[in-house]
Structure 1
Amino acid sequence: MQDALAGVWRTLTGEELPPVSLTGDDSVLPGPFRVPTAATASIAAATLAAGEMLRVRGIEPGTVSADARHAAAAFGSERLLRIDGHPAPSAWGPLSGDYRAADGWIKLHCNYRRHEAAVCWALGVPAVREAVAKTVAGKTVAEVESAVVTAGGAAALMRSRADWLAHPQGQAVAELPLVRLDRIGDAPPRTLFDSGRPLGGVRVLELTHVLAGPVAGRVLAAHGANVLHVGAAHLPRIPVLTMDTGQGKRSAFVALDTEGGRARLKKLIARADVLVQSFRPGALARLGFGPEQLAELRPGLVVADLSAYGWTGPWARRRGFDSLVQMSSGIAEENAADAPAPLPVQALDHATGWLTAAAVMTALRRTVTEGGTWRARLSLAGTGAWLDSLGRSAATSSEADFADLLEDADLLEDVDSDFGRMTRVRMAGELPGAPPRWDHATHRPGADTAVWSPVGAAPGREVAPATQPG
């Protein structure tokens, strides 16, 4: 684990690894991939980055620590979430899942209605699982993948690792670093708001959807950032993921397809310190918020761009999710028997989220020490390549062992939320100089106004005004 973390830290910072304590091993989760190592290393990297933010404030961070068991729980946080003692609704849509085609397996991602509709349109079938399965069975995986993607849906056929490494997108991903951090503009060194927390007074604008981007914002909120998640009222949401990843954030709606909404976003960016976004590459630029425009609008901004398959190559703009990237890149195929064998948790999403938070805090530190406007880029496929590079585990845990984490009360905590009494995974990563915490539980989507709360204000809710009659 130490070697994995040291490699990540060098990629992020170019520095030697500070003192850190890592405990546990890969036996806490099943499967051949070293998911607990990746989880522990990415959580430790983010916590170390928070510690370095403390250090530039003149506060000794103490020795950072991360534990593999806690890391595994954090990477499965949406599965461990409980509302009033009951599991939250499943994140998976009724048509989502693995289907056997004439020559292999394909995964269809239908958690959103528009993606479900694209599958049904592409295949010419009603929204009935049996009808989808029958039609897929009569086609090749390539035919199904091409038809669904062309229709605007999300699908991935199961490739082997060798096939992925020979694929043009696999080759493009292999050329990319795990994290790319670039200075994209000039700005004077930043002066931090006086705070005893790593990100106290730092305003983070989050334009993300499931799952990596929201995880990044959740981590930043736990270290004291003022995080405002901006979505749109008409966009679909997955309740369990919204509840799980919204800890410590405010939530507002802005209609970016309107001139007024884009003007509101411009005002928010002009006063932000960080922008985390997971639009497909190029989509935000088409709205007038490309990297050059952002650097001009807010000198000193830190921008974090997340994508599924990376920012170069023929699939740079392809829709993708953790489960699809696992299918495309050989992860699901490696241990497949009667069906694809996914990772025990959505590790690509969660690791990318924690690594994004680490990259943001590293870039913020640079804005303090040397100034500039910075851009971080990460991808689920890049994180998958990193996981692959860690080698394989000899762990013998079973999938059922994951449920045992529910019995580990030290990893869980209860809080009141807009959704009821919430049992959630406690924030992972120990930072003695400023223990991370969420100032409040998840707000309902759109419950807050799309404005920045005053720096230093007590955490709370700014409720959106009711629509006036007439």
Structure 2
Amino acid sequence: MREILDGVWRALTGSRPGAVELTGAEDVLPGPYRVAAAATASVAAATLAAGEMLKLRGIEPGTVTADTRHAAAAFHSEQLLRVDGVGAESVWAPLSGNYRAADGWVRLHCNYPRHEAGVCWGLGVPGSRSAVAKAVAGRSAREVEHAVVSAGGAAAELRSPEEWAAHPQGSAVASLPLVSLEPVGAAPKRTLFYSDRPLGGVRVLELTHVLAGPVAGRVLAAHGADVLHIGAAHLPRVEALVRDTGQGKRSAFVALDTEGGRARLKKLISRADVLVQSFRPGALERIGFGPAELAALRPGLVIADLSAYGWEGPWARRRGFDSLVQMSNGMAWDSSGEPSPLPVQALDHGTGWLTAAAIMTALRRQVTEGGTWRVRLSLAGTGRWLDSLGRKDSGAVEVDYSDLLEEADSGYGRLTRVRMAGGLPGAEPHWDFGTRLPGVDKPTWNP
């Protein structure tokens, strides 16, 4: 696992990591992919990046630690979460799932009403699973994918790894780095406010949904950042994921489809240190918040952009989710011919942790060098990295995670949650409070 971490750290910084201890075996998660090793390296990279921020404050971070069992728990924290002792409901809507097509398989993502409408409109059927299954069965998987995506829905054909490698988007992803970190404007160096935590006084504006972006914000909050999540009252949410990823964050609503809402967002950005967003590529730019506008509005800002399929290629603007990317890029391909997904949503969680590491790396460079910085990652890029790590035995041991859980009050009730992963002796990461109900906070920064 150490060589995996070395590779990630080189991608982030161009150097070797400092003092770090990795423990545990990879058999804590089933399947042939080295998910537990990738999870451990991702947790370690983010914790090392926090340690580098701590050094800027004159505090010795100590030896960073990351354990495979704890990292595995963090990578399916939404499944382990309890509210008042009750486990989370299914995150999947009734029409979401894998469907057998005339020549293979296709996955449809219907967790949001507009995506369900795209499936029904694209296939010309009512909103019942039996009707959708019948329509899919009579067409090729590629035809279904094209029809649903063209109608504004979200779908993915099950491709083999070889088919993905030959696909124009697969080729585009292969040409991109795991993490893109580049300056996009001039700005003076920023002075850190006094704090005994790595990100104390750092303001993070989070415009994200679902999983990867919220996981990144959750990691930053655990290292002391003031994270303000911005949503909208009229937009649907997957509450089970919100309850899990909202630890340590404030939550406010801003209607970005109104002039007043966009003015409020400009005011928030003008005082932010970090903006992390996972809107569909190009969506923020269309309403006046592209990289150039952001750099002018807040010189010195760290901008983190997350996407499903990368920022180059014919699918650069395609909406996508972890389960869909696994189908597209061949990670769900199995010799049986049926989809075989990863044991956890590793592309989402991995991208979230790596984004947090990249953001902290960019913050350190902003403090030491100045400049406005842009960070870019994608689920497909994380999938390519995971695929490159090789394979392991598919078997797994039975794992008890109970000692990694803690309780906290939240707006939803008493949470039993996975404790923040990654050890940093100089300032152990933790969340200051549990998940707040969506929209309960004012869209302003703390004094």
Q: 3-state DSSP class of the match of 2:133?
A: helix
**Cα distance in 1 between the residues matched to 2:210 and 2:5:** 25
Report the residue type matching 2:158 in the other structure: M
Aligned to 1:139: 139
CA deviation vs aligned residue, 1:352-407 (integer Å, no higher than 9, x gap): 00000000000000011111100000000000000000000124117xx4xx43xx
Q: Which residue of 2 aligns with 1:437?
A: 430
Q: Which residue of 1 aligns with 2:301?
A: 301
Contact 1:89 1:239 in 2 (8 A): no
Distance in 2, matches of 1:336 and 1:320, equals 24
Corresponding residue of 1:41: 41
Preserved contact between residue 108 and residue 155 of structure 1 (Cα < 8 Å): yes
What is residue 273 of structure 2 aligned with on the other side? 273
Structure 1 distance, partners of 2:86, 2:72, is 21
Displaced runs of 4+ in structure 1, greater than 3 A? none
Residue 437 of structure 1 aligns to a residue whose secondary structure is: coil
| Superposed CA RMSD | 0.9
Partner in structure 1 of residue 125 of structure 2 = 125
Specify which of 422, 428, 450 is matched with residue 415 of structure 2: 422
- Counterpart residue identity of residue 310, structure 1: G
Distance in 2 between residues matched to 1:248 and 1:121, nearest whole Å: 39
Q: How does 1:41-440 map to 2 (within 5 A)?
A: 41-333=41-333, 335-337=334-336, 339-397=338-396, 401=398, 404-405=399-400, 408-440=401-433
The residue type equivalent to 1:259 in the other structure is E
Q: Deviations over 1:280-312 (max 9, x none)?
A: 221111110110111110011000000000000
Distance 1:91 1:448 in 2: 25
| Alpha-carbon distance in structure 1 between the residues aligned to 2:25 and 2:210 | 28
1:339 deviation in Å? 2.4
Q: Percent identity?
A: 73
Measured in 1, the distance between the counterparts of 2:369 and 2:24 equals 37
Is the 1:109–1:154 contact (alpha carbons within 8 Å) kept by the matching residues of 2?
yes
Cα gap change, 1:430 to 1:181, in 2 (>3 Å): same
Q: Which residue of structure 2 aligns with residue 449 of structure 1?
A: 442
Report the residue type matching 2:354 in the other structure: L
Q: Residues 131-160 of structure 1, C-alpha deviation per residue, up to 9 Å, x if partnerless?
A: 111111001001100000000000000000
Which AA in structure 1 matches 2:46? A
User: Partner of 2:106: helix, strand, or coil?
Assistant: strand
TM superposition shift of 1:409: 2.2
- Matched residue of 2:436: which SS? coil
CA distance in structure 2 between the partners assigned to 1:31 and 1:305 by the alignment: 30
CA contact (8 A) 1:26 1:395 kept: no
Are the structure 2 counterparts of residues 155 and 195 from structure 1 closer, same or farther at C-alpha, using a change threshold of 3 Å?
same
Opposite residue 382 of structure 2, the aligned amino acid is T
- 1:289 and 1:152 map into 2 onto residues whose CA distance is 23
Q: How many residue pairs get matched? A: 447
- The AA in structure 2 aligned to 1:140 is S
Q: Which structure 1 segments of 5+ residues have no match?
A: 455-470
What displacement does 1:337 show? 2.3
Name the CA distance, whole Å, in 2 between partners of 1:250 and 1:135. 43
Q: Distance in 2 between matches of 1:286 and 1:114?
A: 20
Distance 2:112 2:414 in 1: 27
- Report the secondary structure of 1:199's partner residue: coil
C-alpha distance in 1 between matches for 2:433 and 2:245: 12
User: Equivalent residue of 2:139, what SS?
Assistant: coil
What secondary structure is seen at the aligned counterpart in 1 of 2:332? helix
What TM-score results when the alignment is normalised by the length of structure 2? 0.99
Q: Distance in 2 between matches of 1:240 and 1:225?
A: 23
Which amino acid is the alignment partner of residue 240 of structure 1? A
Report how far residue 431 of structure 1 moved. Answer: 0.4
Equivalent position amino acid for 1:443 in 2: R
> What does residue 466 of structure 1 align with?
none
Q: Distance in 2 between matches of 1:6 and 1:304?
A: 22
